[in-house]
Structure 1
Amino acid sequence: MTTWNPSKVELVTSEAALREVVEPPAPAIAAKGIAGIDELSRDFIAAARLFFLATTAADGSVDLSPRGDAAGSVLLFDDDRTLAFADRDGNRRLDSFRNILQHPRVGMLFVVPGVDHVLRVNGRATIVRSAPFFAEFAARGVEPRWR
């Protein structure tokens, strides 16, 4: 087993120190952030069968939850800023949802099998108990249980 000894390590504590070991990204990479969901992002999300949802708890800890469903199961709305996904049966701890009630800022990381990059979406979450679009979340003929 490796022993952690803080007195024997050199910490990076500023962006300047970080840039001493990592050069700045190429301009195209530095400018990749966009304010909405463009057509390329829509296609990527539609193909994803897996995404990870990151939330922050009241104590500041971070929770990362895998979410999987059939490709195309994340709904994208026409405002290019809103998406929705159904809650499926899981461990019933509700960690993500309890965190969202306290701190609605979330991150989502979409993964497509066989693709060597991912798509990250950051924003604010809202928990919806009932909505007309819930019927679109039916899987194997079953709508989300919150309906």
Structure 2
Amino acid sequence: MIDRPETPVGRRRQRWRVAIYGSFTVGIVALLAGVGIGFDLVGAIGYFLGVTVGGALCVYACVLGSVTISDERFAAIERRASHYTLLGLAYAGLATFPALFVLEAAGRFAFSEALETLLFAFSALFLVWGAVYTALRIRS
């Protein structure tokens, strides 16, 4: 259940978050729609505009203005969402890729270029995560 902000500050924070994340969402949808219907340039322009507007709103709200976009509760939710997303990707990769390696060794499967790229992306993601985690552990 999503709780609705009851205070003027909470409503103001929600409006800014909707404006910022809505702008990013519109940009991403524009890119996907443009690519999907064959207008890659139009989609890229829509994406650029959405990200630029969202970034400008975020800079204004967080740096130049007196708006606080998030509080400790939002930060805790974002940490949990990131944690569960990474765990889900890790478990999916751990369950899938070793089986594909075995199938490839048995001659029943061949890695495509896209799947190989996905494997490298997964590997890079978790190497970066591990490096950041290690650096944070050392600092604490």
TM-score where L is the length of structure 1:
0.24
Structure label with greater radius of gyration = 2
Greater strand share, structure number: 1
| Larger RCO: 1 or 2 (CA < 8 Å, sep 6+) | 1
Greater helix share, structure number: 2
TM-score where L is the length of structure 2:
0.24
